[in-house]
Amino acid sequence: MKLQDASQQHAKWDAQLRKGTLELAVLAALEGKQKYGLELLNQFQQFDTLQITEGTLYPLLDRLKREGILAASWIQQGEQRPRKYYSLTVAGAKKLGFLKQRWISTVADLNSILCES
């Protein structure tokens, strides 16, 4: 396998993994606090596997808001322009609890399989 092919396969793997875990990451980042979109984006940029674009994050935030998982409110602080802050709703906190448990179970299952090899 060529180095370029391997690199493309790794990029595809990373994209699929990110796609499957991004909702969990957003909900976890908002647990017990509210954040605005760019703040979330900057937080995720700190992690190699969570680097996304605004074009990925904002549609997800909008969908979660429509589903009642997130609440959003405009807040102005000082002279800055207002920012839209997101927070978990009660339904969002419940969903986060469920997703956390599924993630923990999945990681444990995979670790069992990987350690058998």
Q: Give Cα 22 to chain centroid, integer Å.
A: 3
- Does the pTM surpass 0.85? The reply is yes
Share of the chain above pLDDT 90, in %: 74
d(CA 10, CA 117): 21
Identify the three-state secondary structure at position 78: coil
Burial 40-60 (b: 16+ CB within 10 A, else e): bbeebeeeeebebeeeebeeb
> In this predicted model, what pLDDT tens digit does every residue of 1-24 receive, in sequence order?
566 677 888 888 888 888 889 999
Closest by CA position to 60, among listed 49, 48, 50: 50
